[in-house]
A = this chain, B = another copy of it.
Amino acid sequence: MNFEDSPQEAQFRATVREWLAANAEPKRHPRDFVGDGLPADQRLAAARVWQAKKAAAGYAAVTWPREFGGLGGTPIQHLIYLQEESKWRSTFGYFEIGIGMCLPTLMAYGNQHHKDRYVRTALYGEEIWCQLFSEPAAGSDLAGIRMRARREREQEGSDWMVDGQKVWTTGAQFSDFGLLLTRTDPTVPKHAGLTMFFVDMKSAGIEVRPIRQMAGESEFNEVFFTGVRIPDEQRLGPVGGGWKVALTTLMFERLTVGTELGLLTAQSMLSLLADRGDLSDPAVAESMADAWIVDEGLRLHQCRTLTALSKGSTPGPEQSIGKLLKARQAQRMSTFLMDLAGQGSLVVDEETDSLWSSVQRTWNWSAALRIAGGTDQILRNIIAERVLGLPEEIRVDKGIPFNQVTK
């Protein structure tokens, strides 16, 4: 039992460190990214430059086969790269979804032309991809999407016309392409009538609207499709086979381990409490211990997962534990700290890098995070069903044609 790299891992880490030291810029504060402080378009441009550099060195997609520009590395090597990169100025929020989920799906289901045309440009940050799955009436129940794709003419190979609405689309406003799940046949049970496409986000009939969140900011979009034409050539997998393709994408989502949620940590809580001199209060001390146990416990759980990974297992539903605990813990910690500090903690801390502004951001964002990416309830279902092997929820819509399920 140990926490050290294996000899191979240590060697990879050393190589990465050397490359980063030669190519990356030092971080000035924890939330300092490439292009920090620049206007949105210049920031994006700077991000593309860094992405291209990474891609040229093979680090943009460590686990991809070499033929696609990756290193053919293991998930652990990918994680080692991310650990090391996080000490330097890097990028966040532009390329993860495309490289982590969309392109792997394209590699699995696309033809040779697709691979030649799209993989390299995405890897080098020249084109950005987004994922168009969720809909207003299909969140937890993704297979319940309604976005309708119809063949323009009733014949093989005909173009498709798409109408409907997607929601919660991260990065839609600057994306070039989107992976799009549609319903092509509403007369069959819900999982059977889906088809996957990718779509040029600049197509006529696509409108991207930011969603305003409860704290006033916008991190997601709604995307409206009105008579959008998609060539049949951009279909991934067979007509009616979209659910299987979507599951592939979601499986890749699970592989994006170690994503930073940007929430208050127990370590920050400790700093705040120590600075306030509050730890001598036994009630505060006990809350601090509770928070520490969860945070540190998740880190150790992650270490066990990584151990399993490095022994060759694939990440399973056990990973649901992280977000389930983290989001609730964040909500509890931020509330607790504000209670301690009193009414003044309601005043927005304008200094965005301060511990207090992170408390406030966490209070707002934790409410969303208990929902986004699987609600607490869905995650418990996943643990109960897929880890503990308990019976699935009763599905009253099982086997019933989609258009006959009680609306």
Contact = CB atoms under 8 A, between A and B. Distances in A.
A281 to B, nearest CB: 6
Contacts of A277: none
A286 B282 CA distance: 11
Contacts of A282: 281-283
Interface of A, helix, strand, loop or mixed by DSSP: helix
Contacts of A285: 283
Contacts of A286: 283
A6 B283 CA distance: 45
Contacts of A281: 282
Interface in A272-320: 281-283, 285-286
Contacts of A394: 394, 396
A223 B38 CA distance: 80
A218 to B, nearest CB: 34
**Contact-residue size bin, chain A (C-beta under 8 Å from the other chain):** under 10
**Copies of this subunit:** 2
A19 to B, nearest CB: 50
A286 B284 CA distance: 11
A283 B281 CA distance: 8
A281 B396 CA distance: 53
Contacts of A283: 282-283, 285-286
Contacts of A396: 394
A396 B396 CA distance: 11
A396 B395 CA distance: 12
Give the residue among A283, A285, A396 with the most B Cβ atoms within 10 A.
Answer: A283
Interface in A256-286: 281-283, 285-286
A379 B282 CA distance: 35
Nearest to A285: B283
A281 B281 CA distance: 8
Interface string A385-407: 00000000010100000000000
A351 to B, nearest CB: 31
A286 B281 CA distance: 12
A81 to B, nearest CB: 44
A394 B393 CA distance: 10
A281 B282 CA distance: 7
A391 to B, nearest CB: 11
Interface string A357-396: 0000000000000000000000000000000000000101
A42 to B, nearest CB: 51
A284 to B, nearest CB: 8
A394 B285 CA distance: 45
A283 to B, nearest CB: 4
A282 B394 CA distance: 47
A296 B176 CA distance: 62
Give the residue among A282, A394, A396 with the most B Cβ atoms within 10 A.
Answer: A282
A119 to B, nearest CB: 47
A29 to B, nearest CB: 35
Nearest to A396: B394
A281 B394 CA distance: 49
8 contacts: A281-B282, A282-B282, A282-B283, A283-B283, A283-B285, A283-B286, A394-B394, A394-B396
Interface of A: 281-283, 285-286, 394, 396
The 7 residue pairs across chains A and B that have the minimum distance between CB atoms:
A283-B283, A282-B283, A394-B394, A283-B286, A281-B282, A282-B282, A394-B396
Given A282-B282, A283-B286, 6 more contacts: A281-B282, A282-B283, A283-B283, A283-B285, A394-B394, A394-B396
